[in-house]
Amino acid sequence: MRWKNKHKPNENTIAKLALALNVDKTIAKLLVQRHIETFEQAKYFFRPSLNDLHDPYLMKDMGIAIQRIEKAIKENENILIYGDYDVDGTTAVSLVSSYLLSFYPNIATYIPDRYDEGYGISFKGIDFARDNEFSLIIALDCGIKAIDKVKYAKTKNVDFIICDHHRPGEELPEAIAVLDPKREDCTYPYDELCGCGVGFKLIQALAEKRNQNFNELIPYLDLVATAIAADIVPITGENRILAYYGIQVINTNPRPGIKAIIQNIKKDILNITDVVFVIAPRINAAGRMKHGLHAVNLLSETNFEKAKKIAAEIEIYNTDRKELDKQITEEALDQIKKNDEKNNFTTVVYQDNWHKGVIGIVASRLIETYYRPTLVFTKSGEKLAASARSVKGFDVYNALQGCSEFIEQFGGHKYAAGLTLDPKNYDNFKNKFENVVKNSIPKELLTPEITIDSTIYLSDITPKFNRIIKQFGPFGPQNMKPTFLATGLRDNGYGKKVGADGEHLKLSIISGIDQKTYNAIGFGLGNKFEIVSNGNAFQAVFTIEENHWNGITSLQLNLKDIKSDD
């Protein structure tokens, strides 16, 4: 792993902020690194307020979208809420449909079948709308590139409102309204919303038009926080405010569907990491293994007993998903070894019977072994479909654009994308993708990087210090949990490998500098036991965690990497 220190801010700025906030210089330095340099900025950061959300009507086409929805309601039209089958799409569909159903009955939901229709808006979905007399489709988390589909819908007298957050192509669909903060002609102040976030701005605008109190929208924020966490969008600005209040809803009054998922978690307070690793995979499992509508039904259910039954079914899908992704990952790793592609700049693997629902997860798993841009292909009808994942700092979307002559369709963003191609183009695509990445990726990006916020002594880690660090949350991209470096460390003799195969490291660390001792856990660091054995001095990069055991809370170090201290 590459250890990289974050930029060192101006010492005067740090000193001024430390004085203004009455905090130590390490805390002030962490804040300045996050571009928080004044008391006012710190207040905005530490006290997220729903009053700081932007006016939804600042988004291009918002007024037109609201007018069209009002017309549909006035004329008693049927409205179809359409969304992608992942967490962002299903939460968005549940959010907008639940809100509209609270005052208008002619609402139905549609999630495309991952295997039959593929990603995004489909001709089949439009035909469903026409055959069932839906004259307006509100598309969420998809549609920004559906030029031909929207044209087709027009011929069937079906109107579209598109709410998306993916990068548009050169041409926008001819929809009634296209809400996407990434549109070049959209001056909305924050362009990192997820699809469900754009859906929330839509209902916020509707609520405003209906003179509704904003507080009536707060119960929907559990869905928005779940989508923000799952879609790995930056936890900055508006996203951080929505996530902050959404996590509160999850902890105090979650909707029955989310309550049913988390009922067996033995934890008093859930954080955004729990959303990523507990709630999101189960919502995703429905679309991966069966159908995304199961997730929408769970998230929209108002009866807890019924929600528990749906959650139990989804739990089975999630168990099946885990087994499948483990099996396919092993097969993909074998393929890489067999083809002698261990030293490539990319990973591109294909097998026609791999389950389309888990290839994105498998791509992420392969990056854990071979750290490089990765695509996993499977057969989808007459075409090949792939999920792409990237490494930190490399834009896989741009790399795919460089191979566009061999691709039929693709979409996504910097770190994750999906595409389809004709089977006859697979080898040409694979070679072109390898060359594009080889010629554009800086060599250092092929080694995982740990960014270090600050060097500290173990004696700096106090309950007060940890309390302030906790207030930096919710954590996520562009607001990661602070990572620290400490040197001159030794294990006090109780260190050992733990886990079934000894893959983890459990230490009791003492600092030779200040004699402070802390327990530490290093997941996946069991192979580095020799570095800390026999009283050897070492340095460690870590985050600070709370360990809850038998009603007692203690601080421990979550080790990210260790090196010999020489």
pLDDT bracket for residue 421 (50, 70, 90): very high
**pLDDT tens readout for residues 490-516:** 998 888 999 888 999 999 999 877 778
Quick check: do 56-312 and 339-446 share a fold? no
What average pLDDT does the chain have? 94
List phi, psi (to 5°) of 457. -95, 155
**pLDDT tens readout for residues 164-193:** 999 898 899 999 999 999 999 999 999 999
Provide the CATH number for the domain formed by 56-312 in this structure: 3.90.1640.30
Rg (C-alpha) for the chain, rounded Å, is 25
pLDDT bracket for residue 548 (50, 70, 90): confident
Domain boundaries along the sequence of the chain:
2-6+449-564, 56-312, 339-446
pLDDT bracket for residue 406 (50, 70, 90): very high
Q: Name the DSSP letter for residue 208.
A: H
Q: How far apart are CA 64 and CA 54, in angstroms?
A: 18
pTM here is 0.91
**pLDDT tens readout for residues 89-136:** 999 999 999 999 999 999 999 999 887 887 889 999 999 999 999 999
Q: Record the tokens describing residue 463, joined without a space.
A: 């309950």
pLDDT in the model for residue 342: 84
Provide the CATH number for the domain formed by 339-446 in this structure: 3.10.310.30
pLDDT in the model for residue 293: 92
Residue 266 has pLDDT above 80, yes or no: no
List phi, psi (to 5°) of 176. -60, -40
CA angle 95, 100, 104 (to 5 degrees): 160
Please choose, from the candidates 532, 486, 531, 492, the residue with its C-alpha nearest in 3D space to the C-alpha of residue 510. 492
**pLDDT tens readout for residues 354-376:** 998 899 999 999 999 999 999 99
**pLDDT tens readout for residues 233-251:** 999 999 999 999 999 999 9
Q: How far is CA 269 from the centre of its chain?
A: 20
Q: How far is CA 383 from the centre of its chain?
A: 28
CATH fold for the domain made of 2-6+449-564:
OB fold (Dihydrolipoamide Acetyltransferase, E2P) (2.40.50)
Task: Name 105's Cβ contacts closer than 8 Å, sequence gap at least 6.
Answer: none
β-strand pairing of 484-491 with 504-511: antiparallel
Note every long-range contact of 129-133, with CB atoms under 8 Å and residues 24 or more positions apart, other chains counting: 129/80, 129/153, 129/156, 129/158, 130/156, 130/157, 130/158, 132/78, 132/80, 132/108, 133/78
